[in-house]
Amino acid sequence: MSTIFSKIIAREIPARIVYEDDLCLAFHDVNPQAPTHILIIPKKEIPRVAATTAEDKALLGHLIHTAQTLAKNQGLHDSGFRLVINNGPDGGESVPHLHVHLLGGRALQWPPG
């Protein structure tokens, strides 16, 4: 699988990276939907959350924990933030590589759309 996210992980495409470890990479979204809009992606190529298996449980937890840490680092921890994982075309998925959206920096509406 070769998605734009795979190319960002391989450093073939530039990104404004804010965090990286052995399991994931986080960077600013190029089309932000809030003042803070960071994508947290696993380095393991998984197309979407529905394609995860039991062996991915620790990785999924790591992505959420990383998002929480980034929210704190971005000053969103106390005011609030939203985590979004889109799955499939009807779920709003635009890149078939699992990713968590961290959104914040303004009051977010519900329902999202």
Residues with a catalytic annotation lie at 99
What is the helix (H) or strand (E) element at residue 81, kind and residue range? strand 81-84
Pair type for strands 36-42 and 17-20: unpaired
CB 93 within 8 Å of CB 87 = yes
Show the tokens assigned to 20.
Answer: 């990286």
Who's near 110: CB < 8 A, 6+ residues apart? Answer: none
